[in-house]
Amino acid sequence: MSGDWRVHVDATRCIGAGICAGIAPEHFALDDGLSHPLVERVAPDDVLLDAADSCPMEAVIVSEADSMRRIAPED
């Protein structure tokens, strides 16, 4: 499945703001006050970039699944 993205939420940074779940409810859910991806490996979807860029703690990380090159948020 070349070209897939990996979605990760850093639980040590997440404050449960819920912005990611609000922007991309098909990709994120809140449990016990913290966000998590519904599926870790996904097809590219621009809404994931919006979710990562909107996270106030930069806890949402999108990377290339195979190379792990970070896509969002940008460093």
Mind listing the pLDDT tens digit for each residue in 25-49? 999 999 999 999 999 999 999 999 9
pTM: 0.92
CATH of the domain at 21: 3.30.70.20
Rounded CA separation 75/71 (Å): 9
Domain containing 43 equals 5-72
**Which residues are paired to 41 by β-bridges?**
6
2: pLDDT strictly greater than 70: no
DSSP SS3 for 50? helix
Number of domains in the chain: 1
Task: Choose among 67, 75, 63, 55: nearest CA to 8.
Answer: 63
- Measured CA to CA, the distance from residue 36 to residue 48 in angstroms comes to 13
